Amino acid sequence: MTALTSQSPAAPPDAAPAVRRRRGRPQVGSHLTMLLATVVLGAPLVWMALASLKTSEELYRRPLQWLPGQVSFDNYAQAAATVPLGQLLANSVGLTVAGAGLKVLLGLCCAYALVFLDFPGKKVVFGIVIATLMIPPQITIIPNYTLVASLGWLNTYQGILVPGLASAFGTFLFRQHFLTLPRSILEAAELDGAGHWRKLWRFVVPMSAPTLAAVALVSVVAEWNDYLWPFLVVDDPAKMTLPVGLTLLQNIDGMTSWGVLLAATVVVTLPILLVFLVLQRRLVAGLTAGAVTG
């Protein structure tokens, strides 16, 4: 009530204040609710980071110890001693960069053909790409596993990478964007003697930076977090990605050493969390693009 009376002198004397005031009143409650939601949603990640820095004596103390007594990286060292953490990180980075890069390239080229080229069967090609969005990749795991095994690709990087390379979502987003590009620029480029290759790289790509960034970031997140397929194809620790290596660690250490397991969990989640925090706007634009176009 005090908030109400202190507010009224400043309010202009027309019909608006009634609405304003009604909307102004629950703000304290809203702020508290939002604060609570933020704490509840954010706490698990903070808890993970804190726990990974505690000694096991601190982790298993009751009642619970909230903060690590002194920051200790023992859990990380022990995780690295149990599984080849450096190698896993290198594998994950390499496969993510290669996978996302190739995915963007494939989608970009395919969308260029679908928008700027006239060729027989164009509608069929578009249909093939779009229908893929309806086919859950999980349905394909058994036949793809047998194919990859018969190629001798189990426990290889190409075995992890190649089956997931084709880009339906990226192609679709690029196509949507290309349709909005001014045709006149490309026609002028053509009159100047630019071939398709040059038109793609000198004209279309520079005009598509936000879409490129969005598709690339979505692919990076998907490749980094991908679990089921690499888990099935690889059991050699030297070829594992980080999430699969975490499974190995879980199987070795079980639930006996939470500190070690959580240290590895931090290694899996922190890089992508940093990418998210730095490039949030572009990433969110990509992840939510389906809602706007669909």
Partner 1 sequence: MTTVITPDADAVPAASRPPGDRPRPPAPRRPATRRSSARRRRRALWWALLLAGPNVLLLLVFTYRPLVESFYLSTLQWNLGAPSARFVGLGNYVEWFAAPTTGRVVTTTVVFTVATVGGALVLGLGLALLLNRRLVGRTVARTVAFAPYVLSGFAVGILWLFIFDPRYGLLQELLGRVGLSSPAWYTERPWPLVMVIVVYLWKNLGYVALIYLAGLQSVPQDLRDAAALDGASPARTLRSVVLPLLTPTTFFLLVTMLLASLQSFDIIKAMTQGGPLGSTTTLMYSIYEEGFVNGRAGYASAVATILFVSLLVVTAVQLRYVQRKVHYA
Q: How many residues bind partner 1, per CB under 8 A? A: 104
Q: Which long-range contacts (CB under 8 A, 24 or more apart) does 255-261 make?
A: 257/56, 257/75, 257/78, 258/51, 258/56, 258/59, 259/51, 259/52, 259/54, 259/55, 259/56, 259/59, 259/74, 259/75, 259/78, 260/75, 260/78, 260/79, 260/82, 261/79
Q: Which of 88, 91, 224, 248 binds partner 1 (CB under 8 A)?
A: 224
C-alpha distances (whole Å) from 15 to each of 10, 18, 36, 198, 211 are 14, 6, 34, 61, 45
Here's the x/- map for partner 1, 4-23, by CB under 8 A: it reads as -----------x--xx--xx
Q: Which of 140, 155, 156, 176 binds partner 1 (CB under 8 A)?
A: 140
The minimum distance between CB 238 and partner 1, in angstroms, equals 19
The minimum distance between CB 182 and partner 1, in angstroms, equals 18
Query: Within its chain, how far is the Cα of 220 from the centroid?
Result: 6
The minimum distance between CB 186 and partner 1, in angstroms, equals 14
Residues 32-71 that bind partner 1 (CB under 8 A): 33-35, 37-38, 41-45, 47-48, 51, 59-60, 62-64
The Cβ of residue 215 has, within 10 Å, a number of other Cβ atoms equal to 28
Here's the x/- map for partner 1, 197-216, by CB under 8 A: it reads as ---x----------------
Q: For residue 208, what are the contacts with CB-CB under 8 A and spacing of at least 6?
A: 108, 174, 177, 178, 181
CB nearer partner 1, residue 132 or residue 155: 132
The minimum distance between CB 138 and partner 1, in angstroms, equals 5
Q: Which of 6, 70, 138, 184 binds partner 1 (CB under 8 A)?
A: 138
CB nearer partner 1, residue 7 or residue 225: 225
Cα separation, 191 vs 203, in Å, equals 13
CB nearer partner 1, residue 21 or residue 207: 21
Q: Which of 84, 153, 225, 237 binds partner 1 (CB under 8 A)?
A: 225
Cα separation, 26 vs 292, in Å, equals 31
- The answer to whether the Cα torsion of 125, 129, 131, 132 is positive or negative is positive
The interface region with partner 1, picked from 76-84, 177-185, 207-215, 274-282 by CB under 8 A, is 274-282
The minimum distance between CB 2 and partner 1, in angstroms, equals 20
Quick check: 192 binds partner 1 (CB under 8 A)?
Answer: yes
